[in-house]
Amino acid sequence: MEIKVLPVGAYEANCYILLDENTKEAAVIDPGDSGKFIIDTIKDLKCKVKYIILTHGHLDHTGAVDDLKKEFNAPVCINEKDEKLASKSSFIFGEIKSDKYIKEGDILEIGNIKLKCIETPGHTPGGMSFLVDNIVFTGDTLFFCSIGRTDFEGGDYSTIINSIKTKLTVLPDDTIVLPGHGPKSSIKNEKMNNPFL
């Protein structure tokens, strides 16, 4: 398994390319901007995009979805609650047309990789995290010593804290946290040092 991180856009959102090196199947998580750069990186890796996966519907995480969809024709996966909010909501949400709704407990297979879907609402109603082995992609739910904002439409502070405490910090301490912005962390570090927890 190989993971490429590409900080993209004005807010340097982390776009992740999750690659099974044996089968060359890949998933792109949160292509927020710089579509050509992401596409060129995928072509350099010589991989086949099986899924475009979104942790949530905010524009800085969805801005290059159309470019990747047009180039690779891979299904776009998002939680239904965020797609519905995006269809009637403010500028902070991108326009999203999903091919597959994802929910708690779903497993997405990328080659031999099994990516488990975990519902972690709070930053948005349909916020998702994704677990593979000892790595969790947390989107804008959990950052290095911080948490996602809850003052945007659909955000709720008590909900995000509950999501983190019941879905993320229950993971083993050595679980690596790959967030939607900023550097990686670990569950142990967040339990010990995150002032919000």
Over residues 59-95, the pLDDT tens digits come to 999 999 999 999 999 999 999 999 988 777 666 787 7
Q: pLDDT band for 113, please (50, 70, 90 cuts).
A: very high
| Residue 58 per-residue DSSP state | B
Q: Report the pLDDT value the prediction gives residue 110, as an integer from 0 to 100.
A: 98
Q: Report the pLDDT value the prediction gives residue 93, as an integer from 0 to 100.
A: 81
Which CATH architecture describes the domain 2-193?
Answer: 4-Layer Sandwich (3.60)
What b/e readout covers 47-86, taking b as 16+ CB neighbours within 10 angstroms? bbbbbbbbbbbbbbbbbbbbbbbebbebebbbbebbbebb
Q: Report the pLDDT value the prediction gives residue 85, as an integer from 0 to 100.
A: 83
Cite the beta strand spans of 36-81 per DSSP E: 48-53, 76-78
Pairwise CA distance, residues 37 & 39, whole Å: 5
Q: Where are the domains of the chain?
A: 2-193
CA angle 101, 118, 67 (to 5 degrees): 45
Pairwise CA distance, residues 47 & 100, whole Å: 21
Q: Report the pLDDT value the prediction gives residue 92, as an integer from 0 to 100.
A: 79
User: For the CA atoms of 37, 14, 120, 73, what is the dihedral angle to 10 degrees?
Assistant: 10
Pairwise CA distance, residues 64 & 188, whole Å: 33
- Average pLDDT, integer, range 42-63: 97
Q: Report the pLDDT value the prediction gives residue 86, as an integer from 0 to 100.
A: 79
Pairwise CA distance, residues 41 & 162, whole Å: 36
